[in-house]
Structure formats: structure tokens, C-alpha cells
Amino acid sequence: MRKAFRIVGTILSIAAITLFLDAIVTATLLPGVINTDRDAAEAGNLRAYIHADYHHDIFPGHDMPRVWGRIIYPWKSDKHGFRTGTCGPGEAEKAWPAIFVIGDSFVEAVGSSYEQSFAGLMACDAAKQKKAVWNLGVSSYSPIIYWRKVKAAAGKIGRKPSEVYVFLDLSDIDDEANVYREGEDGKVYFKSKSEPSRENWDVDPGQWLVRHFTTARVIYDAYISASFTWSHSFGRDRARWPFDKKLLEDWGRHGLEIAGANLDKLVGLCREWQCRVTLVVYPWPDNIREGDRDSLQVRHWRDWSAARGLRFVDGFAPFFKEPADATLHRFYIKGDVHFTPAGNQLIYETVSQAVDGSW
């Protein structure tokens, strides 16, 4: 037994000395080689979001780099907590007709500059027409949040929109069925009983290790490189439910029903405000590879929009004009489901054509 304790003690001593030397090397010898830009961007990720009654929102008044996989990109929020940039409306533009763009991470445009995102391109085009496009999109939003955010945004800027563009993501159906719920107090919560505290959003022990220990950094960098391969763009249930019968029956149909009910609340707001709603859908890599051109996501929401007199934009169609491999490599971030600058440009052009360039 005494021998075992000595062995354990020796192992622990070696580990402690190794970690100490690792930390010394990281702090003194490697600052010139360490990617401090990525460190700053990782820190930016932690500061980007705050809690809200409708679950979460963007932290207002931040201008910082953020990181998405291998991509470091500029990210700025205005005083209202809307992502902004060149052509993003400010105080002077509040007098212009307001156009709200709502959606999830595709609208917030993770991995993209504001100027290269489809929402940013819309804003620059609309500004030429003296119209203000406000980007209300935030990662992990879905219809249960959309109508609440639209209502809150009108209060923040003191102006009701003349148009609302809803970019309905495939993942929204999963979120509506399996992720979010409305509490008795009218606020939005996770369906699981445990809700993360604000403090959990601010501190990432893993990133602390990466910043302070070279070994942890090497392991993390290897993980990032291994994660962003094309194989990781596929096999996502959140995209496969329109053509996977089991997923569709397990939660897809239920998610469509809940999403429709929540979008009806947004439509109701717009009818009260006398604004127009445009609904846009678009594919993920799984849909491209499976040839899901005539997708249930398209058919269902086209019919749903027609029944309510809404304008509908089929954002699936332009992604099926080229062979699948060419489409994927051109329009999607490798190892991810979000758009490259070319993908953002394609969505912008598709919507612009649908509205005849008049926002």
C-alpha cells in the first residue's frame, strides 16, 4: 500500500511540475507565436449574449472580433442590441420606414462580417431607398422568440415596421418541438428544467485552459482542425426531418404545428401594425446532398403563407442549379451549415429578385 501511495505521489508531482512548466512556457516564451487574435475572438464569443424575457439577446454596444470555427470575423452591436455595421441604421435613420429582419444564426450571420451577410446587403440596398433594415436575428432563435423580439424591437426604436422578413430555418422546427417552451409567466425557457445562469455564459473553463497552457492549446487547435471537415456538414437531424420519415413523425410535424402557431402571432402583430410579412426558407448541406429540392419545408410554408396572404420566397431553388458538390463548396462553410460570402450573396439576390429590388 505504501508503495502504491509513492507511485501516485510521484505521478501527481510529475503532473504538477509539467503543468507549472507548461504555464511558464506559455506565459514567457510563446506569446509571439500564440494566436492572440483568436484569444480575443474567443473572449468576444463569451461577451456576445445576455438573458432576456424571450430567453436571450445580443449584448448592446459591443464592437469586437468573434470566432466561428477557423473564421475570425468582426462583430458589432448597436445600443439596442441589434447586430450592425456599414449601412446599419442609427439615430438619423429612425425617421425612415423600418424593415425588420428576424431569424437565427443565419440572420445574425455567424462566421461572416455584417457587410457580407444577406441582412447587411439588404440594409445597404434599402438605405439607398431611404429605408432602414434592422437586423433582429440572434443565434438559436425560433418562432416562439421571433414574435416577441419583433414586438420588443418596435418598442426599443420607437417605430413599428412597414415590413418584416422572417428567415425560417430548418432548425426552427426542432427548436419549437424539443428545445423551447413558454413558462406560466409568459417568458421563454428551455424545455429541460435546468436553465443556465448568466454567470455560466461569461466563464468558459476550457478557454481558460487554452489561454494558459500550451498543451491544452495544441489539443484544442487539433480538435478545431479535425471538426471543420466536410463530413461534419452532414448527418444533422435538424436538417433531415423533411425527408426522414421517422424524424418527421417523432417531432417534425409537431414542430411545424407549434412554429405555425407562433408565426401566426407575428402575423397578427403585423396586421395590427399594417405591415407586410415575407417568409423565406433556405436549405442546409444535408438537403443539397439528398436532392431535397421539393422539400416539405418549402411545400408546407408556401401553402401556409398563401393561406394567410403572405409573400413567400423559396430560397431552396437557387441552391439546386449546380451539381451538389459544386454548390456545397461554393456556398457553405466547410464543416458547417452556414453560408460563405457567396451563399449570403445568393440569398440576398434571391430575396431581392422576389421583391423586385424594392424593399
Whether residues 49 and 10 fall in one domain: no
Higher-confidence residue of 331 and 193: namely 331
Q: Are residues 212 and 276 both part of a single domain?
A: yes
Same domain, 87 and 164: yes
Q: Is 138 a domain residue?
A: yes
Residues 17, 40 share a domain: no
pLDDT digits 0-9 by tens, 112-123? 999 999 999 999
Given CA atoms 34, 35, 37, 43 in this order, what sign does their dihedral have? negative
Average pLDDT over residues 12-20: 64
pLDDT above 50 for 201:
no
Any idea what the Cα angle at residue 255 is, between residues 253 and 259, rounded to 5°? Answer: 120
**Residue 198 located in a structural domain:** yes
How far apart CA 255 and CA 275 sit, in angstroms, is 26
Within 10 angstroms of residue 291's Cβ, the number of other Cβ atoms is 11
- So what's the pLDDT on residue 8? 61
Assigned domain for 194 exists: yes
Q: What is the CATH number of the domain that holds 107?
A: 3.40.50.1110
pLDDT at 2: 65
Q: What is the pLDDT of residue 264?
A: 98
Q: pLDDT at residue 39 above 90? A: no
Asked whether residue 96 is assigned to any structural domain, the reply reads: yes
Same-domain pairing of 26 and 77: no
pLDDT tens, residue by residue, 19-34? 566 556 555 655 555 5
**Domain total of the chain:** 2
pTM of the entire predicted model: 0.85
* 129 plus 23 within the same structural domain: no
Indicate whether 16 and 147 sit together in one domain. no
Shared domain check, 26 and 171: no
Look at residue 108 and tell me if it is in a domain. Answer: yes
Asked whether residue 239 falls in the same domain as residue 252, the answer is yes
Cell 409537431 belongs to 254
359 domain-assigned: no
- In this structure, the answer to whether residues 27 and 97 fall within a common structural domain is no
Residue 242, Cβ neighbours under 10 Å: how many? 23
Given this model, what pLDDT does residue 199 score? 40
Query: For 267-325, what is each residue's pLDDT tens digit?
Result: 999 999 999 999 999 999 999 999 999 999 999 999 999 999 999 999 999 999 999 99
- In this structure, are 11 and 145 located in the same domain? no
Q: DSSP letter at 97?
A: P
- 22 and 47 both lie in a single domain: no
Give the end-to-end CA distance of the chain in Å, rounded to a whole number. 78
Check residue 229 and give its pLDDT.
81
pLDDT above 70: percentage of residues in the chain: 81
Domain that holds residue 259: 34-354
Alpha-helix residue ranges (DSSP H) falling in 133-281: 143-157, 171-174, 198-202, 205-212, 214-227, 237-240, 245-247, 253-273
φ and ψ at 53, to 5 degrees?
-60, -30
| pLDDT of amino acid 254 | 98
Q: Where are the beta strands (DSSP E) in the chain?
A: 49-52, 55-58, 63-68, 71-76, 98-102, 132-135, 163-168, 180-182, 188-190, 276-281, 311-314
